[in-house]
Structure 1
Amino acid sequence: MKQSRLMSLVESVANVIVGYGVAVVTQFLIFPIFGLHTTLAQNLKMGAVFTVVSIARSYVLRRLFERLRRNT
């Protein structure tokens, strides 16, 4: 069965929220190991930047694979 548009939206939003949380927690845990010390606000902002980049990457790859699928 195909996924409804609403469920696709719900899945996309959940993916972004989880990705943002993973990015912030990872930064909080990993940065000190490399001697990088940031505030919570800085971690949140960097997590937002990484999230935007991830969304763009995902979109470009999805469109690329859709084009490849149509050409086969």
Structure 2
Amino acid sequence: MSQSKIESLIETIINTAIGFLAALASQLIVFPMVGIDASISTNLEIGAWFTVISVVRGYVIRRWFNARLRLAAKRLAEGVR
């Protein structure tokens, strides 16, 4: 059974929110180690941009993949390769 569009979106947002928190923590540790001096607000802005990109990417990939699975299942059911 495939996910609905809203289920795909919810899964992607939850996954990305967890990733955002991990990325923010990483930025706060790694940036100073490589000489990047960024304030908390700058780190949040960078994280927000990458989060938006990630949500869109994850949603599009999920929907594309589900469509491909549906097509493959239909072809198998019809006996077409």
Tell whether the structures are fold-level matches, with TM greater than 0.5: yes
Q: TM-score, normalised by structure 1?
A: 0.75
The amino acid across from 1:28 in the alignment is L
* Bigger Rg, structure 1 or 2: 2
Gaps of 5+ in 1: none
Identity %: 37
1:53 aligned residue: 53
- How far off its partner does 1:71 sit? 1.5
The structure showing larger relative contact order (alpha-carbon pairs under 8 Å, at least 6 residues apart) is 2
TM-score w.r.t. structure 2 length?
0.68
Q: Which runs of 4+ in 1 moved over 4 A?
A: none
Equivalent-residue separation in structure 1 for 2:64 and 2:14 (angstroms): 23
Return the offset for 1:67: 1.5
Can you give the 5+ residue segments of structure 2 that lack an aligned partner in the other structure?
73-81
* Aligned residue in 1 for 2:63: 63
- Aligned pair count reads 67
**CA RMSD, Structure 1 to Structure 2 (Å):** 2.3
Shift of 1:12: 4.8
Residues 8-30 of structure 1, C-alpha deviations (whole Å, 9 max, x = no match): 54x55532332221111111111
How many Å separate the matches in 1 of 2:65 and 2:58? 11
